[in-house]
Amino acid sequence: MTALFRSPFARWAAAILFLGTIFRLWYSMHLELVGDEAYYWLWSRHPDFCYLDKGPVIAWFMSAGTALFGQTVFGIRFFATLLALGTGIGIFLLARRLFSDQVAFWSVLLATVTPLFAVGATLMTIDTVYVFFWTFAALAFWYAKDQSQLGWWILTGSLVGLSMLSKYTGAIELLSFVGFCAWHPPCRQHFRRATLPAMLVVVALFFIPVLLWNWQHGFPTSHFLVHRGALDEGMRFRPLEVLSFVGQQAAVISPVLFLGLLAALFWPRLAPTSREQIGYLLALFLPLFLGYLVLSFQKASQANWAAGAYISGLVLTAAKWCEAVRLYPWARWIVSGGLALALLQTAILHETSWLHLPARLDPLDRARGSRNLAAQVEALKIRSHIHVVIAQKYMTAALLSFYLPEQPETFMPVSSPPFNQLVLWPTYREIHPDDDAIYVSNTNQLPASLEEDFPDIRPAGEIYTSQDGRQVNHFYLFVCRRSDRHLKAAAPK
């Protein structure tokens, strides 16, 4: 450990990671939960060994965090910050092992100023968890490839298994490892030994709970994944969706950093580096990135879906940039400008209220207004003497469950398709068969199942949520009564 910090680059990287962690622990308490976080928090309150679209690992971390710090925002996000710290350490160790302390430092700096990873270092989302295990699986495999014994291979398989149980995208890293073994002649021996198969068997063992859960529930995960990728809409060719995907990647990575990554990929003579190390980084980057690029011809993927690929992508960029700065005087200015722009983007992303952006364009509005919404719904609950809340969208239901007093169970209309976990849990029909309800919706239309269950449904007004005097969103409220004996007006005063 002492030898590790003899290098000034290692000490600088450690300072960045330490100070960044302290800041994020503080900053995490200053944002309301976003819908994804509240949704996964609901998972932690319903322990299971699998969920509709993901494995249970994020629920485990949230359960641990809330056990330590209560059912609070800090409790939910505590392990996000620690996992981000761990990912930064993993990036440093991977880049140091492949290249040098200098490249490792610049890799950590790039990850720190990249908007995508800055968000993941604060919010407790799926990507924060699976990228942590993805990073250390990449590091473990680099050690395993030179070993004939099974220890490192079993460790690599376990890390991939945990990454996969965080997000099924983690399984794609297996393609990277197998592809590298096929490409790199010294590693081809593992196809003839028990090492590579042992790693695959370990990953398969981690997948058994997923298969059992899906068998018990009618395999809803496959239907969800097909729907999420728009593969149930028929094959179509949409070039504009591809441009949208590429544009989103440039935005979340930062434009100059993204262009630098593309130059590292497609301009190998720019800054020649070790063929074996670059081949490994490409093997880690290309399967995941190209998979989502191809999928975007059907429908543009979400900006964060390729997050795991950028672990190796940023290390590759750092290695190429370090060499380019040594070879070309002009490269220093481009690198400095790219880092400054990324840092500015990330800094602005932490506080956007002063920009006065429209609600639909402000990225932080996802973390605003939920407490205010819950306060207005609670006021209607008191006036109407109703305690059951149903929401049109699963994220709205999850946020209301967290921010309403005593954090009650919330529900969705029964007619909703099974594309979220709330639909698979017991419904309000089963838990509250005779109770009235309040319905919270983004539209003024009612689902058929709600009209079937509640003979009398009356509008209770259109409300606007706000934070710090700024309007964030708007909703429609309805009072849903089951029988005539409970009829009463519930218009807001």
Q: What is the CA radius of gyration of the chain?
A: 25
Q: What is the pLDDT along the chain (493 residues), one digit of tens a residue?
A: 566 667 899 999 999 999 999 999 999 999 999 999 999 999 999 999 899 889 999 999 999 999 999 999 999 999 999 999 999 999 999 999 999 999 999 999 999 999 999 888 999 999 999 999 999 999 999 999 999 999 999 999 999 999 999 999 999 999 999 999 999 999 999 999 999 999 999 999 999 999 999 898 888 887 777 766 655 566 667 778 888 889 999 999 999 999 999 988 888 777 777 889 999 999 999 999 999 998 888 777 788 889 999 999 999 999 999 988 888 888 899 999 999 999 999 999 888 887 778 777 888 888 999 999 999 999 999 999 999 999 999 999 999 999 999 999 999 998 766 678 898 899 999 999 999 999 999 999 999 999 999 999 999 999 999 887 788 899 999 999 987 544 444 444 4
Alpha-carbon distance of 309 to 281, in angstroms, equals 9
Angle at 357 between CA 355 and CA 362, to 5 degrees: 105
Residue 476, SS3 per DSSP: strand
Q: Hey, how many other C-beta atoms are within 10 angstroms of the C-beta on 305?
A: 23
C-alpha separations of 435 from 281, 414, 428, 482 in Å: 57, 15, 9, 7
